[in-house]
Amino acid sequence: MSTPEASKTPGGTVDEPAERGRKPALRQVIGAGVAIVTIVAVFAFLLPRIADYHDVWAVMSKLSTGELLALAVATLANLATYAPPWMAALPGLGYWQATVLTQTSTAISIALPGGDAVGLAVSYGMLRSWRYRSSAIAVAVLVTAAWNQIVNVTLPMIALVLLLLTGGSSPYLLTAGLIGIAVVVALAVMLVLALRSDQHARWLGEHAEKVANWGLRLVRRPRREGWGEASVKFRRETVGLLSRRWPAITAAAFLGHLTVFGVLLVCLRVTGVTAEQVSWVEAMAAWGLIRLLTAVPITPAGVGIVELGLASALVGFGANNAEAVAAVLLYRVLTVLPPLVLGTICGLTWRRHRAPEPAT
């Protein structure tokens, strides 16, 4: 006969694997609850305090055919620049394959809790099915992620400098600039430490292996070996890629971010926020600051937080309340919904886009 103690270890504690399984599930439930509460609070209570939705709709309903066309062109330009960073970081990857890859992973990161990790796993599986080497995929992931973060913090810094040169000032932007400098320095130091020599790469790999095996021993999983030599190979491949293609990788990363900003700028102008109210420098400063603050998403794609923060910043720079909220809502729809729809379609059809020849 079973007893309550049958589900416990000899020490009388709850079975550890079951407890470990419950903890991630509980964290997911709590995270989902926080996200839902945040989104409801922003759209039901906080954003209407900035501008009444009737006034916002009145602004949007006045858009002309030419203005709608300008929004469509900006949106298409943004979608078109998802692929180049991966094409630069993974030689041999074609534009259409890179588009399918990036749109699918973007849709997953928007739609699912912990979507970034899931999207990364899906991207890896897609590239392996297209016969790319694991090491080349790992290098591409590292490089695109690192350059994405560098550009993400560099643009607010550039905007801050331009704003100060034109006579503007903002304590929030100054804080963002200091944060950006710290992040760029930290990323640069980590890259230098990881890539400066084979000996250092081997040392990092061996110590990472020890830490991983310590954790694997706790969960009774097989130990791992060979991380030191793998780190050396990884380092050589990364250095080789960057020595050949860093200009293309950098240009593609900046282009991808700037087309996103281009959508916001077009949204501002078509909704009536003039350059006299909010210049492109001020718009970039506000946009960059919010992107920094939402680097760790509380809600999927920062829904609610981005809208509230960006609208507040634009109003602070001089935009009319209703026009600022209308511009931000348009911007968010045009940068979230198209990738979500296109990524879903790509995710359902990606197996049809195989490499015609074995990829390097």
Structure confidence by residue, pLDDT tens digits, 247-302: 999 999 999 999 999 999 999 999 999 999 999 988 998 898 888 777 667 788 88
Alpha-carbon gap, residue 163 to 180, rounded angstroms: 16
> What's the confidence (pLDDT) of residue 100?
93
| pLDDT tier, 195 (very low <50, low <70, confident <90, very high otherwise) | low
> What's the confidence (pLDDT) of residue 2?
45
> What's the confidence (pLDDT) of residue 85?
96
> What's the confidence (pLDDT) of residue 225?
76
pLDDT, tens digit, 9 for 90 and up, residues 208-229: 767 777 876 777 778 877 767 7
Range with top average pLDDT, 29-38, 52-61, 112-121: 52-61
> What's the confidence (pLDDT) of residue 86?
95
> What's the confidence (pLDDT) of residue 23?
57
| pLDDT tier, 174 (very low <50, low <70, confident <90, very high otherwise) | low
30: buried, middle or exposed (CB in 10 Å: 19+, 13-18, 0-12)?
exposed
- Higher pLDDT among residues 349 and 80, named by residue: 80
Alpha-carbon gap, residue 356 to 164, rounded angstroms: 52
Instruction: Flag whether pLDDT at 31 surpasses 90.
Output: no
Instruction: Flag whether pLDDT at 181 surpasses 80.
Output: no
3-state secondary structure of 109: helix
Minimum mean pLDDT among 57-66, 316-325, 351-360: which range?
A: 351-360
Minimum mean pLDDT among 67-76, 171-180, 237-246: which range?
A: 171-180
Give the pTM: 0.81
> What's the confidence (pLDDT) of residue 8?
42
> What's the confidence (pLDDT) of residue 112?
72
Domain ranges of the chain: 43-89+101-352
> What's the confidence (pLDDT) of residue 307?
94
What helix, strand, coil percent values describe the chain, rounded to 5? 80, 0, 20
| pLDDT tier, 6 (very low <50, low <70, confident <90, very high otherwise) | very low
- Higher pLDDT among residues 16 and 142, named by residue: 142
- Which residue reads 């059809």 in tokens? 349
214 backbone φψ class: left, alpha, beta (φ>0; ψ -120 to 50):
alpha
Q: What is the DSSP string of 222-285?
A: -----HHHHHHHHHHHHHHHHHHHHHHHHHHHHHHHHHHHHHHHHHHHHTT--TTTS-HHHHHH
For 61-98, letters b (16+ CB in 10 Å) and e give eebeeeeeebbeebbebbbebbbbbbbbbbeebeeebb
Q: Provide mean pLDDT across the span 131-160.
A: 86
CB distance 343 to 330 below 8 Å: no
3-state secondary structure of 24: helix
- Look over the chain and give the mean of its residue pLDDT values, rounded to a whole number: 82
